[in-house]
Amino acid sequence: MVTILDKTGGMSRRQLLKTGAASAVLMITGTAVICPDQAWGLEATALKPDTLATLIKMARDIYPHDQLADRFYAAAVKGQDTMAAKDEKHKALIEDGIADLDSKAGADGYRGLGWEDDRVAILRDIETTPFFQAVRGDLVVSLYNQKEIWPIFGYEGESYSKGGYIERGFDDITWL
């Protein structure tokens, strides 16, 4: 469920708590995307907050990891906003790409599709577009380069500072 607030923040504390208790996924304010139930927020500088919310959903569909919180995907797509602030062509590419994605998804837009398979089918249709390639190409670095998620995947980080792989498990494989 996405709640859109007006520019004055037109939601009372009681409404916010009630919405949070009803498991709000993302709230979109004038310039930010907020996830109250997981206590994180992402401020938009160049892209629309709706665009960032859709990019977060798209990132989760491209690189699905149930064990990762949305805040990691939000941090990963923040780079798109930063690039859009520096380059009008990139901003147009992302905004137009999200508009196209929403139009392909129907009346409720991409985020409104309840089934992951439906969203993935749309992504497969656009996977050769410059928009998809720009988002996917940036995500592969910006998502997996977050040190906080490395332990979730069992990655210990670079090995040089710890003596290299030869002395640290290079030949620990037992099944070969």
The predicted pLDDT at position 15 comes to 54
The predicted pLDDT at position 67 comes to 93
pLDDT at 161 over 70: yes
Please, are residues 90 and 82 in contact by the beta-carbon 8 Å criterion?
no
Q: Does residue 85 sit within a domain?
A: yes
Q: Does residue 143 sit within a domain?
A: yes
Alpha-carbon gap, residue 39 to 161, rounded angstroms: 34
pTM for the full model?
0.74
Q: Does residue 137 sit within a domain?
A: yes
- Cβ-based burial of 99 (10 A; exposed 0-12, middle 13-18, buried ≥19): middle
pLDDT in tens, 116-143: 999 999 999 999 999 999 999 999 999 9
Q: Does residue 65 sit within a domain?
A: yes
Alpha-carbon gap, residue 6 to 1, rounded angstroms: 16
Confidence of residue 29 (pLDDT cuts 50, 70, 90): low
Q: Does residue 59 sit within a domain?
A: yes
Q: What is the mean pLDDT of residues 68-96?
A: 94
SS3 (DSSP) at 99: helix
Q: Does residue 165 sit within a domain?
A: no
Q: Does residue 11 sit within a domain?
A: no
User: How many folded domains does the chain comprise?
Assistant: 1
Alpha-carbon gap, residue 93 to 89, rounded angstroms: 6
Look up the domain containing 96 and give its range.
Answer: 46-151
Q: Does residue 173 sit within a domain?
A: no
- DSSP code of residue 108: T
The predicted pLDDT at position 5 comes to 45
- Cβ-based burial of 60 (10 A; exposed 0-12, middle 13-18, buried ≥19): buried
